């Protein structure tokens, strides 16, 4: 609510609490927003996207556990490390939206409409670029040894699962939009 863009959507009200003190609170007076597809269907898509984000986050952490030669290569580790940012942002948007009351407030609808598609795109870009680096390293274009340790295989599997989760969430981006009621 601290953003100036949404200040006109709220009105300050004064009320007397149970102890007799005058308190100031805010009441939402802006236009109500609803899901484009309907509440039940959009929440079902959001819950699936939440599960995909959680699986992606678990795979991100699990890929970091084994000792991997791939994580020592900057063109693999850097995009892979940046996949954590969109995962956290998507988790924030999804959880906030699922916990919001219907009809939604303007700020929540804007977060859903603006942040969900953009972070989904960035998650796909980072995950796929890391996976491309892995495959370039696997086929031996960067090192002639052709031998990889078992940690590299585990890392590749978890990175692949995370990429599939990112593609699934990216696919859901048009199913969970909000509009004015």
SS3 26: strand
Give the residue-averaged pLDDT of 111-136. 90
Does residue 59 or residue 148 have the better pLDDT?
59
Kindly tell me if the per-residue pLDDT of 43 is higher than 60.
Answer: yes
Q: What does the alpha-carbon distance between residue 56 and residue 62 come to, in Å, rounded to a whole number?
A: 10
Which DSSP state fits 104? B
Residue 91 pLDDT more than 90?
A: yes
Q: Which of 167, 85, 155, 91 is nearest to 128 (CA)?
A: 167
Residues of the chain with CATH 1.20.120: 31-180
pTM higher than 0.85: no
Provide the pLDDT confidence category of residue 3 given band limits of 50, 70 and 90.
Answer: low
Mean pLDDT of the chain: 87
Predicted pLDDT at 1: 44
How large a percentage of the chain has pLDDT more than 90? Answer: 43
- Phi then psi for residue 37, to 5 deg, are -85, -10
One DSSP character per residue, 134-160 reads HHHHHTTSS-TT----HHHHHHHHHHH
Rounded to whole angstroms, the Cα distance separating 29 from 10 reads 5
The secondary structure of 4-38, three-state, reads HHHHHHEEEEEEECCCCCEEEEEEECCCCEEECCC
Least confident of 44-48, 89-93, 141-145: 141-145
- The predicted-structure confidence for 142-155, as pLDDT tens digits, reads as follows 555 555 677 888 88
Q: Which CATH number among 1.20.120, 1.10.260, 3.30.70, 1.10.8 corresponds to the domain 31-180?
A: 1.20.120
Res. 141 pLDDT band, cuts 50 70 90:
low
Handedness of CA 63, 65, 69, 75 (dihedral sign): positive
* Three-state DSSP class for residue 174: helix
CA distance 139 to 144: 9
Q: What is the pLDDT of residues 12-37, one digit of tens each?
A: 899 888 888 999 988 888 899 999 88
């Amino acid at each position: 609510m601290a953003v100036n863009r949404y200040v006109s959507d709220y009105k300050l009200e004064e009320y007397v609490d149970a102890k007799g003190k005058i308190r100031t609170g805010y009441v939402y007076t802006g236009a109500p927003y609803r899901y484009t597809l309907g509440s039940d269907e959009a929440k079902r898509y959001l819950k699936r996207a939440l599960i995909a984000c959680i699986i992606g986050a678990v795979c991100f952490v699990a890929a970091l556990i084994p000792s991997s030669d791939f994580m020592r290569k900057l063109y693999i580790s850097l995009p892979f490390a940046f996949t954590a940012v969109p995962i956290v942002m998507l988790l924030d948007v999804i959880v906030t939206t699922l916990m919001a009351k219907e009809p939604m407030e303007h700020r929540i609808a804007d977060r859903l409409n603006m942040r969900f598609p953009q972070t989904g795109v960035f998650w796909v870009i980072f995950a796929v670029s890391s996976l491309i680096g892995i495959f370039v390293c696997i086929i031996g274009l960067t090192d002639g040894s052709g031998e990889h340790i078992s940690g590299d295989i585990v890392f590749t599997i978890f990175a692949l699962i995370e990429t599939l989760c990112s593609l699934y969430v990216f696919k859901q981006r048009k199913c969970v939009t909000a509009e004015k009621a």
